[in-house]
A and B are shown apart, each in its own frame.
Chain A
């Protein structure tokens, strides 16, 4: 089953409430997937800092002194903000790839959840309520975000099997459904030089979009490609640094509802997820058409 949500703010005055609104939406869909949950928040950009969200099964030892060790390795200032099993490493944008490699060398057991100028990704095994509490998501501010609560089908119930999946800078994706040609597509993407962390079908969809955008396509064009190149059931909600997109496969059996007002565009697997949004009673509410790409950019 799975439940997915997305929220793209048009009204800046709502930005301080993004984490709270998105958390509320995700928690309302808890019974669509009790296995694991995750959320990606796009925060305020900073010209002199980029971020890497990392995760560890033993955060106490892995995150201790990692900032000083990284700063020494990179020769630039590095900060680390620990939240439970996750931590956000901040450093100069031009050092972000180097920092990612250094983290893998210094702490081989640490997993990278995602990286970019603005995105932070938190995901863990457990119910949405527990996951948003653990990472204090309700207090987070931002311009847009996506979330997922998982009922596992295609791969194991682990932190790395949880959504969102991120395979490119500031890009991430949540998925309701299951893909049937993911092994083939994964092989093709590996040949192109992409790397994968899991056996999960959704990670392949995320990597497919990253690959398309790396070839110069915009989010809308990349989403259009999923309709011919990915086989299976899907409703995808995708975030980029300044954009938010939705696409459903042509059969469209995975549910989806959207709402738009002057203040926001919101997505939920069900209308339940949208009922507490401001002005929802007067919002334009519709079901996205099958095989049709929707996207918004700031």
Chain B
């Protein structure tokens, strides 16, 4: 092992963690130990090799470049960090994100952005099933396609999909907004296509701008959301219980 592959503060002020040399716990502990206003604002993680929980619980506005593919829960609970995964992400990337951003250069596995309360999650490849499940305010932009049961019970926030959506999109959705540019295999219970009004086109343009998407117009998307028929118990359905 060379000294440079250990965690060092290098010339470019990026603090480098090589997970072939350091433990995941050391990385996450170092991130959690950052004091507000710290000058260590640029981090680089080498050899993640599918490890779980890389950069979970970040709560300072630092940028973290992860060079490779990660396993479960990368960037979970992120609060203010700008995390970029230069590879693909396993299940639960950005789960319960509060604020900040996570960009996945490759694909994301199931339940990307699950229960997220804020911040921006960008998947440059495809996302798998249950993308944005139970989202609570997060914005998610997927350049490719999303799998089945995405935005299940989504409560608030925006899910933007440049490609196609799988079966049962938005099943039992509350007030999240779903924008899909391609085809939707099927809509889940109580999810319907909705009119794209000027305020939605404006909102969507803002999301595309924040996600760095160019050459795509908001008018190419359809909007989906809740029909709000499941909000209250319907006495006519009593026989079903």
In the bound assembly, the distance between CA atoms of A252 and B166 in angstroms comes to 13
Q: How far is the CA of A273 from the CA of B71 in the complex (A)?
A: 10
Report chain A residues within 8 Å CB of B51: 272
The answer on a CB contact under 8 Å between A255 and B90 is yes
Q: Which of A255, A272, A285 contacts B88 (CB 8 A)?
A: A285
Contact present for A272 and B50 (CB under 8 Å): yes
Q: Are A270 and B71 in contact (CB under 8 A)?
A: yes
Q: Which residues of B contact A250 (CB under 8 A)?
A: 148
Q: Compute how far the CA of A257 lies from the CA of B147 in the bound complex, rounded to whole angstroms.
A: 15
Q: Is B124 an interface residue (CB 8 A)?
A: no
The reply to whether the CB of A184 lies closer than 8 angstroms to some CB of chain B is: no
We find that the number of chain A residues with CB closer than 8 angstroms to chain B is 16
Give bound CA distance, A274 to B87, whole Å. Answer: 14
Q: Are A271 and B71 in contact (CB under 8 A)?
A: yes
Residues of B within 8 A of A255 (CB): 90-91, 109-110
| Residue from B90, B107, B128 in contact with A270 in the complex, judged by beta carbons closer than 8 Å | B90
Residue tally, chain B, CB below 8 Å to A: 17
A275 — nearest CB in chain B belongs to which residue?
B49
On whether A271 and B50 interact (CB within 8 A), knowing A253-B110, A287-B107, A287-B128, the answer reads: yes
Write out the residue numbers on chain A whose beta carbons fall within 8 Å of the beta carbon of B110.
252-253, 255
Nearest residue, chain B, Cβ from A255: B91
Q: Are B49 and A272 in contact (CB under 8 A)?
A: yes
A20-53 contact mask (Cβ, 8 Å, vs B): 1 or 0: 0000000000000000000000000000000000
Q: Tell me the smallest distance from the CB of A25 to a CB of chain B, in Å.
A: 11
With both chains docked as a complex, state the minimum distance between the C-beta of B41 and any C-beta of chain A, in angstroms: 29
Within 8 A of B (CB), among A243-264: 250-253, 255, 257
Instruction: Answer yes or no: A59 CB below 8 A from chain B CBs.
Output: no
Q: How far is the CA of A272 from the CA of B49 in the complex (A)?
A: 6
Q: Which of A271-288 contact B (CB under 8 A)?
A: 271-275, 285-287
- Tell me if B78 counts as interface (CB < 8 A to partner A): no
Question: Among the listed B69, B128, B129, B148, which residue makes an inter-chain contact with A271, where contact means beta carbons less than 8 Å apart?
Answer: B69
Q: Is A290 an interface residue (CB 8 A)?
A: yes
B50 A287 Cβ-Cβ under 8 A: no
Distance of A252 Cα from B149 Cα, bound (Å) = 11
Cα(A257)–Cα(B69), bound, Å: 12
B109 CB to closest chain A CB (Å) equals 6
Q: Are A287 and B148 in contact (CB under 8 A)?
A: no
- With a cutoff of 8 Å between Cβ atoms, the chain A residues found around residue B147 in the complex are 252, 290
In whole angstroms, how far apart are the Cα atoms of A250 and B50 in the complex? 25
Distance of A277 from chain B, by nearest CB (Å): 12
Whole-angstrom CA separation of A287 from B71 in the bound complex: 13
Contacts of B149 in A (CB 8 A): 251
Determine the residue in chain B with the shortest Cβ distance to A254.
Answer: B110
Pick the residue among A272, A275, A290 that contacts B129 (CB under 8 A).
Answer: A290
* Closest B residue by C-beta to A286: B107
Whether the Cβ atoms of B90 and A290 lie closer than 8 Å is no
Contact with B along A88-130 (1 / 0, CB 8 A): 0000000000000000000000000000000000000000000
Residue of A nearest to B70 (CB): A271
- List chain A residues, Cβ under 8 A from B148: 250, 252, 290
Bitwise interface map of B from 144 to 176 toward A, beta carbon under 8 Å scored 1, else 0 = 000111000000000000000000000000000
Q: Type the 1/0 row for B120-149, where 1 means its CB is closer than 8 Å to any CB of A.
A: 000000001100000000000000000111
Cα–Cα distance between A255 and B110 once the two chains are bound (Å): 8
Q: Which residues of A contact B72 (CB under 8 A)?
A: 270
Chain B residue at minimal CB-CB distance from A285? B88
A290–B110 Cα distance when bound, in Å, is: 12
- Docked Cα-Cα span, A253 to B109, in Å, equals 10
Across the interface, which residues of A come within 8 angstroms of B90, CB to CB?
255, 270-271
CA distance A290 to B166 in the complex (A): 11
Which of B49, B51, B107 has its CB near the most chain A CB atoms (within 10 A)? Answer: B49
CA distance A270 to B49 in the complex (A): 10
CA distance A252 to B69 in the complex (A): 21
Question: How far in angstroms is the closest Cβ of chain A from B18?
Answer: 14
Chain B residues, Cβ within 8 Å of A252: 110, 129, 147-148
| A96-B147 Cα distance, complex, nearest whole Å | 47
Q: A252-B148, A255-B109, A285-B69 are in contact. List 5 more A-B contacts (CB 8 A).
A: A250-B148, A253-B110, A272-B51, A275-B50, A287-B128
Nearest first, the 3 closest Cβ-Cβ pairs linking A and B are A272-B50, A271-B50, A275-B49
The residues of A with any CB-CB pair to B shorter than 8 Å are 250-253, 255, 257, 270-275, 285-287, 290
Question: 15 A–B contact pairs at CB < 8 A?
Answer: A251-B149, A252-B129, A252-B147, A253-B110, A255-B90, A255-B110, A271-B50, A271-B88, A272-B71, A273-B50, A275-B49, A275-B69, A285-B69, A287-B107, A287-B109
